[in-house]
Amino acid sequence: MSILAWIVLGLIAGFIGSKIVNKSGEGIVMDIVLGIVGALLGGWLFERFGQAGVTGLNLYSLLVAVVGAVVLLVVYHMVRRAA
């Protein structure tokens, strides 16, 4: 996947994930970072459960990235509240 595809996937997934968890976006740069890291985390999690990770710029990869972004945000908020 090209760098531009990762950025587009990251922006969309990060925005959706932050809307699910925070009810607001994190800003364009943070949404991109959140989405890309979420895609990596989601891909790793999906592969651990026997499914394919991120396969390209498609709806399945968007789902994987959104799941990863949501998991990342939930863990981040849990750690932040505990500290």
Instruction: Calculate the alpha carbon distances from 51 to 33, 38, 66, 68 in Å.
Output: 24, 16, 15, 14
Instruction: Calculate the alpha carbon distances from 18 to 15, 45, 66, 78 in Å.
Output: 5, 19, 9, 15
Residue 75 CB contacts under 8 Å (≥ 6 apart), including other chains: none
Q: What is the pLDDT of residue 46?
A: 94
- pLDDT (tens digit, 9 = 90+) per residue, 12-70? 998 999 999 988 777 788 888 888 899 999 999 999 999 998 888 899 999 999 999 99
Half-sphere exposure of 78 (CA within 13 A, CB side): 6
pTM over the 0.95 mark = no
Where do the structural domains in the chain lie, given as residue ranges? 3-82
Given a cut of 80, whether residue 83 has pLDDT beyond it is no
